[in-house]
Each structure stands twice: as C-alpha cells, then as structure tokens.
Amino acid sequence: MYVVYVILCRCGAFYIGKTKRTLVERVREHMASIRSGRSCPRLIDHVRSRHGGNSTCLSFAGLETVVESLRGEDRHKRLLQRDNTYKRDGSAWT
Ligand SMILES: [Zn+2]
C-alpha cells in the first residue's frame, strides 16, 4: 500500500510524493531533512532560498492510498500517471 501525499507551501508551490510507510513517518523524515540539510534537495533549496529556511511555510496532506494490487512495472507506471495528473493541475515545485 502506498500513500500519495502533497507538501504544500504557502507561496503556492507544491510537491507530490509517495511513501510505503505512514504519512506521519514520512513527514517527520522531510522535516528532519530540512533541518539537517540531507536528502530532499528540491524541498530544502526551496525552503532556504524562498523562505529563509523556515519550514513553517509547509503543510502536508495525504491525497490517496493506493492499494498494491498491480505488479511491478504496471504499478510504477500507474503511480507516475497519478503524479502527472496532480502536477498538471498546479504549478510545479520550484
Ligand atoms: Zn514556498
């Protein structure tokens, strides 16, 4: 099972992600990355360059849960399609 989630910034930028773990765990990880400067480079760059490193501009929300019923590649393809669907409707993360 996957959770597809969105990280929304108050400036209108957003990032769609997915995780096999719980959303709470993933959010914790993102916040730790911002503090430590490791991983999530796009997110870190954005928060640092646009908001002076203050991550309170971000909010997180779960979009949907994807049941892992499809096999390997099909599943991956479908997740990419979902990604694109979300991204089409808004501005890309910059
Ligand atoms: Zn922003």
Of 70 and 25, the one with more pLDDT: 25
Residues 6+ apart with CB under 8 A from 32: none
pLDDT at 73 over 90: no
Whole-number pLDDT of residue 25: 93
- Per DSSP (E only), the strands in 1-94 are 2-9, 14-19, 58-66
Q: Compute the distance from residue 31 Cα to the ligand 1 centre, in Å.
A: 15
Residue 86 φ then ψ, to 5°: -65, -40
pLDDT at 56 over 90: yes
Whole-number pLDDT of residue 24: 93
pLDDT at 62 over 80: yes
Instruction: Mark the residues whose beta carbon lies below 5 A from ion ligand 1.
Output: 9, 11, 13, 50
Whole-number pLDDT of residue 71: 65
Q: Compute the distance from residue 23 Cα to the ligand 1 centre, in Å.
A: 21
CA 22 to CA 29: how far, in whole Å? 11
Q: Compute the distance from residue 27 Cα to the ligand 1 centre, in Å.
A: 17
pLDDT at 94 over 60: no
